[in-house]
Chain A
């Protein structure tokens, strides 16, 4: 038997069955900070002062928080004198509605959410993805590439990458959309058959942070393409990517609503 075939058989299966069962592979990986506003003291804005992307900032009626701009740097966790920003493993942050990444004190009714969760029936089974890098730091590409490694083995879920937009159901975009990438991105979208969907991956594609407001960097996909699922994170880990893809296919529930994370 050829050596590598034998090696492969000898080593056996390496992949996890997550999320059905098995490990997600993210032990110890820090996610978005979890906010406990009841612990905040008046006039404290230590978190907003250190937040490098203005994900947290002070508004007239209190603090506002946009997880779409969070780059998971943990600076707010270190700066908070009240332990109101807690380190967490909240990384499965994919949402259908961009608004759900904004912190809301009170949540809207779940019934209203369910109505929005309609997915085109023809996409329930297999999914083909076309990836476009619109100016990422390559952290997202590294994690997207990891989906192909034997541990995550994305194919087991019936999800595949395709080189051509003609065969793609989903456009997966990373990066803030730099000036010269805007047209190639739109051309790729145009070349896709309908129904077609868009997944914004990483803080850059979700909000532009921390690459926005420069002479070259864009502001993410908002206003560029109709986004179906927003996945923040810097970068989102492979399990978060799997969760986002399954959310898109209605095979996993959304875990975040109004910035609140449900375990």
Chain B
């Protein structure tokens, strides 16, 4: 039996297609959580399916490997969150799943085709062709029911997506988001690139997640190559990604207040976001914290020692802003009881980040599977039980305060030192997993490298998980609450679509 390239980093179990369902059942009973699944054609006729799991109380991840040349039983009935992963593997990877409970197109829409699966062995450079066709929707027949197709081009300056509502008056009967208009085939683009220089591409998967994507990608390559990142770089990495959390969460509150028509509240949040972006620009040269990460550490040192001083008045203002929002009854009235996501649904369907924590799932990769410098830093992980928009806002508010505290803490511990490890690119094949708790939840990169070149890169963005969950909170609610509910999820589309 050949050993897995992930063996040095993860606990790898080889499993067979026949045992898949019973093993999955056992794992669920033990409280394990599936984090992602991806395929990898290691040779033209051997496809390896990988399922990543986390175990309660165990910082090491569990990886299942299934070597298959035939059809594979779908686990989506048992583990609903795997539904999208399997559909994506069918469309992009040329892997077939038996008895999939959701046999509809996901990434390549109805009306569009690809001659061969681009992440499969037969692909030879074809592009997507076709023309728009309506999506597959459940039939809702009643003369009172109206259908609203909204998108892909919408109002303001929002990301592209198409949203279908079937409704009677104010009541939404069914809601279906059709995403992946922005699918750019990024996992394929990584293939063949030198692992060292592909950081720039990770930064452009989701712009407002540039830093976390770069960090996670670098950590995956560093795990594969066994690189030890210097301590100063680890602390600076924490500062950079917490700055990203800061401006993202402030943006969240600006938008949320906009949906509850609190104009000044919205403007204040967006102005605070702008101030963080300007601080980013001054500190790093990039408002989106791009161009800093590299395999082995950071591309250049940052003078972040005095960040606590720079942030002194900001911390006070951000705190006062959050408190003011929390004291505004008209704002809170619109959040309470809106878009409730029950705990079980959050677990089964794969909710992550603040959305999961607002529904009672006490999970945070920074604490449960520490990376960078988080094991040496103190922070709380806020959790709420109610699962409504209010709970999601509360979790983000606390997490914003924690981000500020983490930046101050990490800046205070900086000592002079190198920020980049020396390393030699190894020959042969290696693989690694990188993970990070991004502002929106768990972000994962799995890479397989041969002779310095990327063979397979799998990206799991938090919005891919949370977009699957979101419709559950829309069915049977009303149109007036929709915008508030969507804002309370804080989703991006580029990250989901890739």
- Which A residues have a C-beta under 8 Å from some C-beta of B? 3-5, 7-8, 11, 14, 25-30, 50, 52, 71-75, 78, 87, 131-146, 148-152, 161, 163, 165, 175-176, 178-181, 183-185, 187-188, 210-211, 214-217, 234-235, 237
Contacts and interface: CB of A to CB of B under 8 A. Distances in A.
Interface in B254-287: 254, 262-265, 267-268, 270-271, 273-274, 277-278, 281-287
B61 interface: no
Contacts of B118: 215
Interface string B114-140: 100010000101111111100000000
B77 to A, nearest CB: 29
Interface of B: 109, 112, 114, 118, 123, 125-132, 152-160, 180-186, 188-189, 197, 200-201, 204-208, 210, 251, 254, 262-265, 267-268, 270-271, 273-274, 277-278, 281-288, 290-291, 299, 324, 327-328, 492-495
A50 B492 CA distance: 30
B200 A4 contact: no
Contact of B127 (A136, A140, A148, A179): A179
Given A7-B268, A151-B274, A176 B263 contact: no
B281 A26 contact: yes
A27 B152 contact: no
A7 B266 CA distance: 12
Determine the main DSSP class of B at the interface with A: loop
B109 A30 contact: no
A234 to B, nearest CB: 7
Contacts of A74: 285, 291, 299
A178 B108 CA distance: 12
Given A8-B264, A74-B285, A142-B207, 20 more contacts: A4-B263, A4-B264, A14-B271, A27-B278, A30-B285, A132-B160, A135-B160, A135-B181, A135-B183, A138-B206, A138-B207, A138-B208, A139-B210, A141-B207, A142-B288, A149-B254, A149-B267, A161-B156, A180-B152, A235-B288
B153 A132 contact: yes
A53 B181 CA distance: 23
Contact of B157 (A50, A52, A144, A181): A144
Contacts of A181: 152, 160, 181-182
A151 B287 CA distance: 15
B289 to A, nearest CB: 11
Nearest to A176: B184
Contacts of A144: 157
Given A144-B157, A180-B109, A215-B114, A52 B200 contact: yes
Contact of A146 (B210, B277, B285): B277
B200 A210 contact: yes
A27 B371 CA distance: 32
**Pairs A-B, 10 closest by C-beta atoms:** A139-B207, A163-B155, A216-B185, A30-B285, A28-B282, A149-B270, A179-B128, A29-B281, A8-B264, A4-B264
